[in-house]
Amino acid sequence: MQHVDNCIFCKIVQRQIPSQLVYEDEEMMAFHDIHPWAPVHFLIIPKAHIASMAQLSTEHTALVGRMMVKVDVLARQEGCRPYPEGGYRLMVNTGQHGGQEVHHLHLHVMGGPRPWSKG
Residue 21 pairs with which residues in a beta bridge? 31
Tell me which of ligand 5GP, Zn ion, none is bound by residue 19, counting a contact when its beta carbon lies within the kind-specific cut-off of 5 to 8 angstroms.
ligand 5GP
Please pick, among 49, 104, 106, 108, the residue that the annotation labels catalytic: 106
User: How far apart are alpha carbons 90 and 70 in whole angstroms?
Assistant: 12
The neighbouring-strand residues paired with 51 are none
Question: What pairs with residue 29 in β-bridges?
Answer: 24, 45
**Which of these ranges, 48-56, 57-65, 69-77, 84-92, lies near Zn ion under the rule CB under 5 A?**
48-56
> How many residues are present in the chain?
119
Distances in Å between the Cα of 39 and the Cα atoms of 21, 82, 87 are: 16, 15, 12
Task: Kindly state the smallest distance separating residue 71's Cβ from ligand 5GP, in Å.
Answer: 15
- Region near ligand 5GP per CB under 6 A, out of 29-37, 58-66, 79-87, 111-119: 29-37
Q: Verify binding: residue 51, ligand 5GP, rule CB under 6 A.
A: no
Residue 69: Cβ within 10 Å count: 9
Is 106 one of the catalytic residues? yes
Span 60-99, contacts to ligand 5GP by CB under 6 A? 93, 99
Site membership for Zn ion, residue 51 (CB under 5 A):
no
